[in-house]
Amino acid sequence: MTFYRHFTATEWEPKVGYCRALRAENFIYLSGTAPIDEDGNTFAPGDAYAQACRCFEIIRDTLQAMGSGLHQTVRTRMYVTDISQWQAFGKAHQEFFGEHPPVTTMVEVKALIAPDMLIEVEAEAIA
């Protein structure tokens, strides 16, 4: 089986030892995607909707780099620090996936890698 790994410039990848995405044959797996800006800082601290949108933008761009797209996403997992904001997270999810909704799970977690991050998203897609 052939593997293709996609890396970005985030500081965490080499420190932790992972890649942003991995393609194995026609399956694409994306690591947890955090809402970071171009400088590696948390995007829109305190804004659940904006942070979710940022995660889905990064996922979209990564999938495109791997020869796929949001419409070929089969699963997402949303890890959120405040489940009471589920509507904001869900709104962003619906807007990005629209007519091609994947299966999904939303789970509340105690904390993410940075204290001002409200969401992290994993995704799986078909190439």
**Could you read off the pLDDT of 9-31 as tens digits, one per residue?**
788 899 999 999 999 999 999 99
Higher-pLDDT residue of 11 and 105 is 105
Length of the chain: 127
Residue range 45-103, pLDDT digits in tens? 999 999 999 999 999 999 999 999 999 999 999 999 999 999 999 999 999 999 999 99
- The superfamily (CATH) of domain 3-126 is RutC-like (3.30.1330.40)
Question: For the whole model, what pTM was predicted?
Answer: 0.96
